[in-house]
Amino acid sequence: MFSSKRAIVLSGLVSLGLALLSACGSSSTSFHQQPVTVSIATSPTNIGVGANWQYSATVSGSTNQTVTWTASAGTIDSTGLYIAPNTVPNPAAVTITAQAAADSSATKSATITVQLTDPLGSVSNVTPLPSCAGSLPNGTCYSMTISCQGASDLTAYLKVLTPQGAPIGTVLFGVGTGGSGLYDQAYSGGSSVVQSIQLAGYNTVQVSFGAPFTSSQPNGWLQGPGGVRRVACRYATVADWVYHNPTMINPGVSVSNSSPMCATGNSGGSAAIAYAIYEYGLSSNNELVMVELTSGPVMSRIDQGCSPCSSNVEGPVCPGGSNQAQLCYQSADASVIDEAYQATGSSTPTPCTNALNGSPASNASALFLSDSILYNGPQTVPITHTAIKQLFGDTDTSNAVAEGMIWNEEISPIPALQCLSNVQHDIPSYTTGAQQIVADITSACH
């Protein structure tokens, strides 16, 4: 009897063991480790020579998010910061690849095409405003939405004044910093400049990216993220729209474009113009035939501006003047550059301030050089389709003179340059400055 019971017990244990093994086998299937895969966040389809894009990747199937980046042309660092070559490669389509550290067989690639100039944005929602601000009366004002690759949409505002007869050209006006303001209001001599050029027979178009139309865009076209060069697309896109929409600017004309079109801007406004004619192709496209850059361009070499003043990097200045020769920004200037890397309402990151204070990020120098107007360093820049005049004040103690003259030295043909006696940074606010701007534009915008 005991033998029979023992056999029954053993038989039951065997059955139980087989059941447990079967259960464990099915359980191991349900907990099978997922394969490691890599995905790359949305990236642009094209980019200008020397420009940059911050790539990012996500690794699935592993807690190790580290990837190794490679590029078939240009450079890309360990953070995914890609900088295009300074000439169009062959082939122009560049392959960017992210390889997972957790599994070297797990890769993902994206393609970006390098072209001669940065891509312009688009304009939508063009709306006439019921009233027009500023010092000069009888203007027509518009608002429009500007969309640029890799930057948030922004509203731009135009104030248009037209001559009595058929216009002989169109002149754009921009103010400093991020262009938030009207030229006829921002400078004590601004209204006389605009009115004099209007009376000389030109359409005048003042461009604002904020004040006095709205207080919600205090940083103007410099609002990030994206970096200075990328957000400069906004001004270039507005200028391109003005060129291609002459009947919106002046309904009394019957022409296909706003040629001859010219522009002037002070300080940050001069930088926006320089980006437009060089990085965004408004010179090579024959859109801007003449530009008057006053107190700048101040973003010629951001990498030198966002560096400690103790490094003593200096540029040329007005002979006999009291200009600062150092290219470095002051702290207030650095905070303006920071804005181009910050989301709306954010106060971080502060890459220029950090670099100015001697604590740059590992890729700061390369990023700032790529975002500079002179992104190719001390190499000659051919700008042959646009006549250029630069005005400086010999008592301007900001770094605008040194930055602007560095740009002057690299342009071919060398732009005309003039230093005005006893004039400070806001050149249109001085009688001699205002008169010189009018004389230069009316004599060369043709």
At 312 the pLDDT is 80
Domain boundaries, the chain: 37-115, 122-444
- Cβ partners under 8 Å of residue 164, min gap 6: none
Residues 236, 225, 311: CA angle, nearest 5 degrees: 90
Please tell me the class of the 37-115 domain.
mainly beta
* Average pLDDT per consecutive 10 residues, the chain (446 residues; last block may be shorter): 42 46 46 86 95 97 97 98 98 98 97 98 98 95 97 98 96 98 98 98 98 97 98 98 97 95 98 98 97 98 96 92 96 98 96 97 97 96 97 97 97 98 98 98 98
CA atoms within 13 A on the CB side of 436: 22
Would you say 375 and 369 are in contact if contact means Cβ atoms under 8 Å apart?
yes
**pLDDT for the residue numbered 311:** 87
Q: Which pLDDT score, from 0 to 100, does residue 32 have?
A: 59
Cβ-in-10-Å burial (0-12, 13-18, 19+) of 9 comes to exposed
pLDDT recorded at residue 31: 52
Tokens representing 223 are 């609002």
Tokens of residue 421, six digits: 């006696």
Token pair for 383: 């700008």
The per-residue pLDDT for 33 is 74
For 12, phi then psi, to 5°, come to: -65, -40
- CA gap 152, 155 in Å, rounded: 10
CA-to-CA distance for 159 and 136, rounded, in angstroms? Answer: 10
Structure tokens that stand for 229 in this block? 């060069």
Return the residue matching tokens 């001669």.
116
Q: Which element (helix H / strand E) includes 24?
A: helix 2-30
Q: Which helix (H) or strand (E) holds 83?
A: strand 81-83
Which among 310, 384, 298 has a CA at the least distance from the CA of 337? 298
Position 4 scores a pLDDT of 46
Under a CB-based contact definition with an 8 Å cutoff, are residues 409 and 382 in contact?
no
| Cβ 158 vs Cβ 210: under 8 Å | no
Q: Can you spell out the DSSP letters for 84-151?
A: --SS--SSSEEEEEEEESS-TT-EEEEEEEEESSPPP-EEEEEEE-SS--SSSSS-EEEEEEEE-TTS
Collect all residues with Cβ–Cβ distance below 8 Å to 366 and sequence separation of at least 6. 75, 77, 81, 83
Q: Which residues pair with 356 in a beta bridge?
A: none
Cα–Cα dist 232/139, whole Å: 26
Tell me the C-alpha distance between 272 and 36, whole Å: 45
Do residues 392 and 318 lie in contact, with contact meaning Cβ atoms separated by under 8 Å? yes
CATH number of 122-444: 3.40.50.1820
CB-based contact 402:307 (threshold 8 Å): no
Contacts of 280 (CB under 8 A, 6+ apart): 48, 117, 118, 120, 232, 233, 236, 237, 240
Burial class (CB in 10 A: 0-12, 13-18, 19+), 393: buried
The answer to whether 391 touches 433, Cβ cutoff 8 Å, is yes
Is 167 within 8 Å of 202 (Cβ atoms)?
yes
Half-sphere exposure in the Cβ direction for 324 (13 Å, CA): 19
For the question of whether the overall pTM of this predicted structure is more than 0.85, the answer is yes
| Start-to-end CA span in the chain (Å) | 120
Q: Is 269 helix (H, G, I), strand (E, B) or coil?
A: helix
Predicted confidence at residue 337, as pLDDT, reads: 98
Asked if 286 and 239 count as a contact pair (C-beta separation under 8 A), the reply is: no
Strands 57-60 and 140-147: unpaired
Question: Which residues fall within 8 angstroms of residue 376, CB to CB, at 6 or more apart?
Answer: 50, 86
Q: For 210-258, what is the HEC assignment?
A: CCCCCCCCCCHHHCCCCCHHHHCHHHHHHHHHHHHCHHHHCCCCCCCCC
